[in-house]
Amino acid sequence: MSAGSYGAKDMKISIVIPSLNSVKFLRHTLESIFSQSYRNFEVIVVDSNSQDGTQRILEEYNKKYNSKFTWAHTSPMGQSDAINKGMQLATGDIVAYICADDTYRTECFENVVKCFKRHHKVQWLYGKGEIIDSTGREVRGFITKSKEFLQPRYSYTVLQCVDFIVQPTVFMRREFYKQIGGFNPDLRFVMDYEYWLRAGKVSKPYFVNKYLANWRAHSGSLSEREHKAEARQAFEVQKLYSHWWLRPTQWKVCWGTIFLYRAIGLLNRNGR
């Protein structure tokens, strides 16, 4: 069925892209958006003064898709700050952000809008996502499958223990984003995970049992270069939201994070 079958033509999606020296993969990200089957969307790129040719790509897309494309400059104050500034410019009913190296699946927007139209009380949702390498090849299947085991069985308690939500698959109503507030600029690595925990305390998300996006693992990404620091920050966020020091049963917070980031570290050492 087409998106219009659900009266979805009145729902606009705003996609925010934080960008800093993203020339290598930005075009792939943008093409995954502009090739969507669902066409009622806008793209807002917040670029932190890139010096690698990123701006030439932005100029190209601004000229080609002027009515759907907004390009803003900002001082480099971190990814959270860029996302928040982009969200302030968003005019859509539904908002999301995607990093400048990840990609959406072709039917992603249509599936998202159908869900929001069918389920009026749903405030935010997530779906399945694969991990790809710099060439677009699927990698780290065991991590994907581990998360996919937990995704349909959403539990806030489990989310306190391990982040099973794939960031680029998350979409939410703009009014809900305003209610929850912006991403925490003090968190360099896990601002998305902290946001899921904050949002989950207010409203349970809906799970879309479809592949919505791809998360790219490559040597240049922040999470690949500094996975140990990311693990430490994730653990601090878990402690904050689970109060595990007051509940001995919440010691399971440890193993989810340790397993995930040790696995990533092992894959990094093996060059995978």
For 98, the 3-state DSSP assignment is coil
pLDDT of residue 242: 80
Q: Which of 195, 16, 20 is nearest to 90 (CA)?
A: 16
Whole-angstrom CA distances from 51 to 63, 98, 101, 130 are 20, 20, 17, 30
For 3-269, the fitting CATH number among 3.90.550.10, 3.30.465.10, 3.40.50.1820, 3.30.990.10 is 3.90.550.10
Q: Could you tell me the two tokens for 24?
A: 């290598």
**So where are the chain's domains?**
3-269
Beta bridge partners of 95: 14, 172
**Tens-level pLDDT at each residue, the chain (272 residues):** 444 444 445 899 999 999 999 999 999 999 999 999 999 999 999 999 999 999 999 999 999 999 999 999 888 789 999 999 999 999 999 999 999 999 999 999 999 999 999 999 999 999 999 999 999 999 888 889 989 999 999 999 999 988 999 999 999 999 999 999 999 999 999 999 999 999 999 999 999 999 999 999 866 555 555 677 888 898 899 888 886 554 544 555 455 555 555 555 555 444 44
pLDDT of residue 62: 96
DSSP element (H, E) containing 215? strand 206-216
Q: Could you tell me the two tokens for 197?
A: 């925990």
Q: Could you tell me the two tokens for 159?
A: 């989310």
